[in-house]
Structures are given as C-alpha cells and as structure tokens.
C-alpha cells in the first residue's frame, strides 16, 4: 500500500478545489467519480456532516483537502465555495 501527500498550497481557491477534484477523478476514475457524485446527490438531499463525509471517504483512501473540495461540490457553502474553503483552513 502506498501513501503520498499532495500540496495545494500555492493555488488560488478555485484552482485548488479544481485540482483536488481532478486528483480524486484520477484516483477513482471519471466514471466512478461521476457515479458516486450522482448517487450521493440522490441518496443524501441533506448535506452529510463533514465528519461523516470525511469518514466515508477515508475508507476509500481519500483524505485531506480533497474531502473538503468534494463536499463543497456536492453541497456548496452559504458564502460560496471559495470563501468556505478559506474558512475551513483557518
């Protein structure tokens, strides 16, 4: 089993989120990512808590900022995605 870290430190918020989503797609594959996103949208009309979402994704090997990025894609924050990403890191 391999483990590696990806840094998103030097990216603007929107680019950072886009790169994290692309990294998830690269890891899962586009078809699987799209199917999971559709299934989550259908099954969870109310947003999952970040803790529950983080736990579910960690079982598939997705951790760190990509979890927050995917959560923002599924359930955009009140202040907009980019503002929410900055708040979560603070």
> pLDDT tens digit string along 17-66?
999 999 999 999 999 999 999 888 888 777 888 898 999 899 989 999 99
Would you state the pLDDT for residue 2?
54
Q: Decide if 10 is inside a domain.
A: no
Q: Would you say residue 5 lies in a domain?
A: no
What is the domain extent for residue 40? 18-89
pTM of the full predicted structure? 0.77
Number of residues written out for the chain: 90
Residue 33 within a domain: yes
> Judging by beta carbons within 10 Å of its beta carbon (0-12, 13-18, 19+), is residue 9 exposed, middle or buried?
exposed
């Amino acid at each position: 089993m391999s483990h590696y870290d990806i840094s998103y430190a030097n990216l603007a918020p929107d680019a950072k989120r886009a790169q994290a989503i692309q990294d998830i797609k690269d890891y899962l594959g586009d078809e699987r990512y799209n199917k999971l996103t559709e299934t989550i949208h259908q099954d969870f009309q109310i947003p999952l808590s970040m803790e529950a979402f983080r736990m579910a994704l960690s079982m598939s090997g997705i951790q760190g900022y990509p979890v927050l990025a995917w959560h923002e894609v599924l359930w955009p924050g009140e202040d907009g995605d980019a503002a929410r990403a900055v708040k979560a890191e603070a």
